[in-house]
Every structure is written in structure tokens, then in C-alpha cells.
Structure 1
Amino acid sequence: MKNNFLYILFTFFATSLFAQTSDSLTVKNEAKAIVVNDTISAKDEYRPLAPAKAAFYSAVVPGLGQAYNKKYWKIPIIYAGMAAGVYFYKQQDDDYNRFRDAYKRRLAGYSDDEFQGISNDRLINAQKSAQKNKSISVIVTIAFYLLNVVDANVDAHLKQYEVSEDLSLRPNFNYNEFNAKPQYGMSLTYRFK
């Protein structure tokens, strides 16, 4: 028994002596990760020049930026707005020319124009009104053109903005413990990522 005790004592001191002389300490650090399968589809890569490209395409050919953004339903609206502006410009220009030609013929001494029951002052006012309507038609056409460019740019920006598909609207039923009555409600869940 004495030999066993000496053996244990010697082993204890020997290991503690060698353990104290060792300067290196090795620690194994294992990082653990939690992997959760998500139902969100893979995100497209971020393209910072996509909005500028879409705006450029729409500036060159109206509607091309919307085609680039795959918003094809907007193209007929753009062309309908621009076509309406051009149509009304042409109509008002024809009316202006008719009023002006009739007024010039009256100043030249002719009385056989198509506006025989209208006075000269009314012809002048009709010319001013047609000129004003021509200007409004040009403004409408330019506004639809600029709206086309801005829409393509904004739509391309918003296309790159990631919104989770986890938008839920669920009924909420709680039991009120104080008055022993159920409480009904709706909860809207939306997560920003």
C-alpha cells in the first residue's frame, strides 16, 4: 500500500510539473450553426445600373423601359396617353388654322367663310382658345413621355427591393381572464428583411 501511495504521489507531481512547464495551450473551438430551410426563393443579384438602363431605354423609345422591367401592360397606357396628346394637338391646330383663315378673309373683304354667323371678335377668341388648347396638348404629350421615363426608373428600383412573401392576415382569438369574455381581433404580420 505504501508503494501504491508513493506511485500515485510521484505520478501526480510529475504530471503537474510537466503541465506547468508547457507554455502552449490548445483550445478547440467548434462553432455551431443552426440551419433553417426557408421557403423564400433565391434573390436575384443586385444590379445597381438597372434603373439607369431602364430609364435610358424609355427615353430612347417610350415603353422600352417597361418592357425591360417586364411590365408589358403599361406600354399601351403610355402610347394611348401620348397618342391622345398628339391627336388633340392636331385637331386644335386644324381648328386654329380654320379660324385664322376665316378672319384673314374677312379682313381682306370677303364674307363667304364658313363662320358667317360669328363676329370678328369671336373668331379672335376662338383662335386664342385653340392656341391655348394646342399648348395644353403638347404639355400632356410631354408629361406622358416624362412619366414613362420616371416610371421605368422607379419600377427598376423597386424591383430590386426585397420584400418577404411572408405577409399574413390571421384571426386572433384571446380569452380575457378578468371579465371571462372572449376577445376577437385580426393580426397582420409583415416582416422586413
Structure 2
Amino acid sequence: MRKILIISILLFTAVTGYTQNQDTVNVLQNTANADSAVKEVITAKVVVEDSAKKETRKRDTFFLKKKEYTPRGATLRSLILPGWGQAYNKQYWKIPVVAAAVGVPIGFYIDNRVWYLRSKQAVDIAFEIEKNSEREAELVEKLHPQFRISYNNVKDRPNGLEQFKSNAIRNRNYFRQNQDYSLLWTLALWGLNVADATVFAHLKNFDVSDDISMKIEPVYFNMSRTPGVRLVFTRRK
């Protein structure tokens, strides 16, 4: 009887201990899972907050960042439109000067181009009349009024058509030459406008202060108790 009682007590103790161990393991596993879930939530929250901060920082940087001033910007602007580079350099008083310098030869080019085409038409019509005199009245009506008057003044003279044709050729060559010169002046002054904007853009960032990068200063050497001089270099960022 005593043996049976002892065996029963031992079995009960073993079963109870096993059950407690299982409960402890389950509790530890549940606790570990809960901790992992909390860590994941916290990590996700931190990642989201960091992403939001970075995005906000990017937006703030985009709006607050100023456009950098560069000589290249002045060059490109003056190439596109004369005077724009000077405006970029904040030399506003130069804008009308540049506009006049480039605008005048452009105006001469346009005017000479128009009269060159009219003179060329007069030359072509003179050759047509020479080939087909029956169409003279029809062809004369196509002339510019000034050339028409000139033709009517000489048509009844001997060799009047030849005289008109030679005058028309001379006018054509004259206006073509002026047109070419006007174009060259336009390109030259346009290039001068670009050079002006570029040079002054470089000078705008040039340090012209009295505090130069290298200067000589007097110095007294305490060790030898003698005066001397030294070179001082100023480093700028």
C-alpha cells in the first residue's frame, strides 16, 4: 500500500511538472510573438515617419533652394535674346543700348532685303519684256510703282529697255551688298552682346575687395628679438 501511494505521488508530481513546463513554454512563446509584433509596428512607424520627414525635407529644399548664378546662364540668355544676359547680370541700363545696337542693323537688313527682291523682280521682268514684247503692258503692271515710273520714263528712248535693265541690275547688286553687310553687322553686334554679358558675369563674382589673397605684414620674432616680414595668405571659400 505504501509503495502504491509513493508511486502515485511520483506520477502526480511528474505530470504536474510537465504541465507547468508546457504552460511556461507557451507563455514565453506568446510573449516573444507579442514583442516581435510590437517591434514590427514600431519599426514600420519609424520607417513611415522617416520617409515623411525626407519627403518634407525634399519639398522644403525644392522651394527654398535659390537658382545658382552662373556666367553660363548669362551667355545662353544673351545668345537667345540680346539684352537678356545683361538683365541677368542686373545691368538694366545696357538693355536699350544692346537693343539699339542689334536692332538697327536688323532693320537695315530687312529694308535692303525688301528692295533687293523688288530690284531682282525688275531685272527678271526686263528680260521677259526683251523676249516677249507683246506682254509688255502686263509685265510692267507687276513692277513696284517706283520701278514702273522709272520704266515709263525711259521706254520711249532709244535703247530705253536696256537702260532700264542696267539700272535695275545696278540697284539689285547695291541692295544685295547692303543686305549682306547688314547681316554681318547684326552677327558681329550680337556676338559683342554675348561677349559683354559673359565677361561681366565672370567679373560679377570676382573679388575686388581690399583684402587680397596674399599680402606682406611686419612681424616681430620674440625668440631672436628681431623684426621681420611675413607673407599672409587668405583662403576664401
Q: How many angstroms apart in 1 are the aligned matches of 2:171 and 2:123?
A: 10
Q: Of 183, 198, 206, which residue of structure 2 is paired with 1:153? A: 198
Q: Greater relative contact order (Cα 8 A, min sep 6): structure 1 or 2?
A: 1
Q: How many angstroms apart in 1 are the aligned matches of 2:81 and 2:125?
A: 43
TM-aligned CA deviation for residue 106 of structure 1: 1.9
Q: How many angstroms apart in 2 are the aligned matches of 1:90 and 1:114?
A: 24
Q: Of 125, 144, 150, which residue of structure 2 is paired with 1:115? A: 150
Q: Which runs of 5+ in 2 are unaligned?
A: 1-67, 130-135, 141-147, 155-162, 211-233
Aligned residue type for 1:62: P
- CA RMSD between the two structures: 2.6
2:147 is equivalent to residue 102 of structure 1: no
Q: How many residues align?
A: 120
Q: Of 70, 74, 77, which residue of structure 1 is paired with 2:97? A: 77
Q: Which runs of 5+ in 1 are unaligned?
A: 1-47, 166-192
Q: Does the CA contact (< 8 Å) of 1:63 and 1:78 recur in 2? A: yes
TM-aligned CA deviation for residue 160 of structure 1: 2.4
Query: Greater helix percent: which structure?
Result: 2
The 3 A distance-change label for structure 1 pair 81 and 162 is: same
**Fraction of identical pairs, as percent:** 33
The 3 A distance-change label for structure 1 pair 139 and 107 is: same
Aligned residue type for 1:67: A
Q: Does the CA contact (< 8 Å) of 1:102 and 1:114 recur in 2? A: no
TM-aligned CA deviation for residue 162 of structure 1: 2.7
Deviation track 1:35-73 (CA, whole Å, cap 9, x = no partner) reads: xxxxxxxxxxxxx97222211221233212111111111
Q: How many angstroms apart in 2 are the aligned matches of 1:71 and 1:157?
A: 13
2:181 is equivalent to residue 136 of structure 1: yes
Length-normalised TM-score, structure 1: 0.54
Deviation track 1:50-100 (CA, whole Å, cap 9, x = no partner) reads: 222211221233212111111111111111122212211111112112212
Q: How many angstroms apart in 1 are the aligned matches of 2:85 and 2:120?
A: 41
Q: What are the within-5 Å matches in structure 2 for residues 45-64 of structure 1? A: 50-64=70-84
Q: How many angstroms apart in 2 are the aligned matches of 1:114 and 1:86?
A: 29
